[in-house]
Amino acid sequence: MHQRSIRRESVSDQLYAVLRDQILDGSLPTGSPLTAERDLAAEFGVNRHAVREAVKRLQQARLIEVSHGGRTVVLDWRHTAGLDLAVGIARAGDGLGLPGLVRDAMEMRACIGADAARLCAARCSRREAEAVVEAAGRYASTGPDLAVLGAADIAWWRLIVEGSGNLAYLLAFNSLVGGTLEVADGPIDLRAAELLDVDAHLRLAAHIAAREPEDAERLARDLLSRSVPALVERAGELT
C-alpha cells in the first residue's frame, strides 16, 4: 500500500480532519466500512494510538458507529451530526462552503434571537430587564466603530438570551458567537445595517422592559435578519 504523508504535529487531530472531510464530501459514503486501524496507520504513517484517538472523535461526532460485532460503519451525518460539526462542514466540499454556512448560521441566529427576545419579555425578572435596558444605553453611546459595536452587541444579546430562561438557546448562542459556528467569522461590514441601528436596539430593550413579547419578537427578527441578504449576495460573488 502506498504510504501517504501527514504532518507530525497534532497527528490525531489531522487524521480526524482528513477522515471527517472524506465523510462529509462523500468519499467515504454512508454505510461503508471505515478502514481498519492498522491500515489507516500504514496509509498515513502514524501510530495506532493516533488512529484510535481520531476514530474516537469520529464516533463522538456521530460520523461513524461501531456495531456489536466490532464493524465500524460510516453514518449519514445529515441525520446524526450536531452543531459541533459546523467547522468541518465549512471546510468540506459538496457546495457547503464557508459563505453558505455563515448565511445559514445568521438565519438560525435570527430565529433564535427573535424567540429569545419574546421569551425574555415574557419571563425575565425586573433586574434582568433593567440590565437589558442599561446595556442598550451603553450600546447607544458606543460610537460608529463596527468592531466595537459588534462586541457590545454580543454582550447585549447575551443578556436577552439569558433572560429568556431557555438553556438550549443559551448553548446555541455560545456556539454562534464563540464556538463552532462563530458568526463573527462573517465580514463585519455586511452587518452594518443591523449594528448601526441604535434606535432599534433601544426600542427592543424598551419592549422587553414593558413586557411586550410580540413586539419584541417582531423587532428582533427584523433587526437580526438584516445581515442575511448581504451575506447571500457576498456568497454569490464568491461562487
Domain boundaries, the chain: 11-90, 97-238
pLDDT of residue 188: 79
- Which percentage of the chain shows pLDDT scores above 90? 60
CATH number of 97-238: 1.20.120.530
Residues 6+ apart with CB under 8 A from 72: 33, 34, 55, 64, 65, 66
Q: What Å distances lie between residue 22 and 91, 163, 164, CA to CA?
A: 11, 41, 39
pLDDT of residue 191: 86
Q: At what angle do helices 198-209 and 98-123 cross, to 10 degrees?
A: 40
Give the residue-averaged pLDDT of 205-217.
98
Query: By three-state DSSP, how is residue 171 classified?
Result: helix
- CB-based burial of residue 105 (10 Å sphere; 0-12 exposed, 13-18 middle, 19+ buried)? buried
**What CATH architecture applies to the domain 11-90?**
Orthogonal Bundle (1.10)
- Least confident range from 118-127, 173-182, 201-210, 221-230: namely 173-182
Instruction: Write out the three cell numbers for 188.
Output: 463585519
For 32-91, write each residue's pLDDT tens digit. Answer: 999 998 999 999 999 999 999 999 999 999 999 987 777 899 999 999 988 778 756 655
Strands (E) across the chain are located at 64-66, 72-74
Kindly state the DSSP code that residue 25 receives in the 8-state scheme.
T
